[in-house]
């Protein structure tokens, strides 16, 4: 039996704990990113985040696994996954320069709803009217946060939507590859693809005129990114993506807490309404997907009458 196909310990409960842990890492990463990119060139921070992840993973894995860890049945998809995550990170870094952490995170959380849309339009999957209603509710919640035409609206408010598009495809690929690929292999490719691509641009923006405290925060960013993505891969190995999706919304709570502690920011009333709509519709969509999946399995095992 291959390493990727071996049964994973802990099952769904372990997957939920790992997912919430990853959400805490990602929310902390976003909060740290918003603070750091106010003083450090954005591409330099992006490069540091990926190089740290790639080097840390390699130093830990290579002595025990050797070059065999790079063996994959889907090299093109591994590279594509790395490119999608790099674009996701780029949109995230740009967005966090201009948007509060909590509102940014809530907009990003429409990703599972977009995945439902992709499943219907590109994969031909049947989507119930209730799930379409939840998708619509999530979009309305996003519009409540963005509020086109309001005095607070500007072009930067649209940046998270680019992130959502890239992240949706990244999550679809992660879920599919995790069924057959070694999570360590996936993590290696993700880190090195992002590091190599970011290295092409970093010479044009590099500066050493930053404080030791900011160097420390750059290290923290790399650490949080490496741990968060690896833990999320492990979560997908222990439970289906649909089962874990409701727990992704824990990131909104962590992000709002980080924004309050570090930046003393609390979302206004309308933003809170939009955040609540996205969280309820997203979690409701995930719950409905799990229920539909269980119903389908029960129908499959029912005996056929002669």
The predicted structure's pLDDT at residue 28? 94
Sign (positive/negative) of CA torsion 159, 164, 167, 173? negative
Q: Which residues of the chain have pLDDT under 70?
A: 1-10, 119-127, 148-154, 241-242, 286, 289-290, 292-306
Token pair belonging to 45: 């921070």
Q: Which tens digits make up the pLDDT trace of 263-278?
A: 888 888 888 888 888 8
- Compute the distance between CA of residue 283 and CA of residue 248 in angstroms, rounded to an integer: 9
Question: What 8-state DSSP symbol labels residue 128?
Answer: -
Q: What is the pTM (predicted TM-score) of this model?
A: 0.72
Question: What 8-state DSSP symbol labels residue 8?
Answer: P
The predicted structure's pLDDT at residue 269? 81
Q: How far apart are the first and last CA of the chain?
A: 38
- Compute the distance between CA of residue 273 and CA of residue 61 in angstroms, rounded to an integer: 45
Q: Which residues lie below 8 Å from residue 187, measured CB to CB, with a gap of 6+?
A: 57, 226, 229, 230, 233
Q: Which tens digits make up the pLDDT trace of 16-57?
A: 889 889 999 999 999 999 999 889 999 999 998 899 888 888
Pairs from 160-165 (Cβ < 8 Å, separation ≥ 24):
160/91, 160/92, 160/95, 160/99, 160/104, 160/107, 160/108, 161/107, 162/87, 162/91, 163/88, 163/91, 163/92, 163/95, 163/108, 164/107, 164/108, 164/110, 164/111, 164/114, 165/114
- Compute the distance between CA of residue 174 and CA of residue 78 in angstroms, rounded to an integer: 9
- Residue indicated by tokens 């949706």: 168
**Residues 267 and 100 sit within 8 Å (Cβ to Cβ):** yes
Residue spans of alpha helices (H) in the chain: 11-36, 42-65, 75-98, 101-108, 111-121, 129-146, 159-177, 183-199, 212-238, 241-248, 250-263, 269-301
The predicted structure's pLDDT at residue 201? 92
Write the burial class of residue 125 (CB in 10 Å: 0-12 exposed, 13-18 middle, 19+ buried).
exposed
């Amino acid at each position: 039996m291959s390493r990727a196909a071996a049964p994973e310990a802990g099952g769904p409960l372990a997957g939920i704990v790992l997912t919430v842990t990853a959400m805490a890492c990602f929310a902390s990463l976003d909060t740290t990113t918003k603070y750091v990119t106010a003083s450090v060139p954005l591409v330099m921070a992006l490069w540091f985040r990926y190089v740290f992840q790639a080097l840390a993973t390699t130093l830990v894995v290579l002595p025990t696994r050797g070059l065999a860890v790079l063996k994959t049945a889907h090299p093109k998809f591994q590279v594509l996954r790395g490119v999608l995550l790099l674009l996701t990170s780029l949109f995230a870094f740009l967005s966090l320069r201009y948007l509060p952490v909590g509102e940014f995170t809530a907009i990003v959380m429409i990703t599972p709803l977009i995945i439902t849309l992709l499943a219907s339009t590109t994969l031909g999957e049947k989507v119930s009217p209730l799930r379409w209603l939840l998708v619509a509710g999530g979009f309305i919640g996003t519009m409540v946060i963005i509020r086109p035409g309001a005095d607070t609206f500007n072009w930067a408010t649209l940046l998270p939507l680019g992130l959502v598009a890239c992240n949706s495809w990244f999550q679809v690929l992660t879920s599919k590859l995790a069924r057959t690929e070694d999570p360590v292999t996936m993590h290696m490719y993700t880190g090195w693809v992002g590091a190599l691509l970011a290295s092409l641009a970093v010479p044009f923006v590099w500066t050493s005129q930053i404080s030791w405290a900011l160097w420390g925060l750059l290290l923290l960013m790399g650490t949080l990114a490496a741990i968060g993505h690896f833990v999320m891969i492990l979560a997908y190995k222990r439970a289906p993506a649909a089962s874990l999706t409701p727990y992704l919304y824990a990131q909104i709570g962590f992000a709002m807490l980080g924004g309050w502690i570090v930046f003393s920011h609390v979302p206004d009333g309308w933003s809170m309404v939009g955040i609540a709509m996205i969280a309820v519709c997203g979690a409701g969509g995930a719950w409905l997907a799990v229920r539909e999946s269980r119903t389908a399995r029960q129908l499959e095992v029912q005996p056929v009458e002669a």
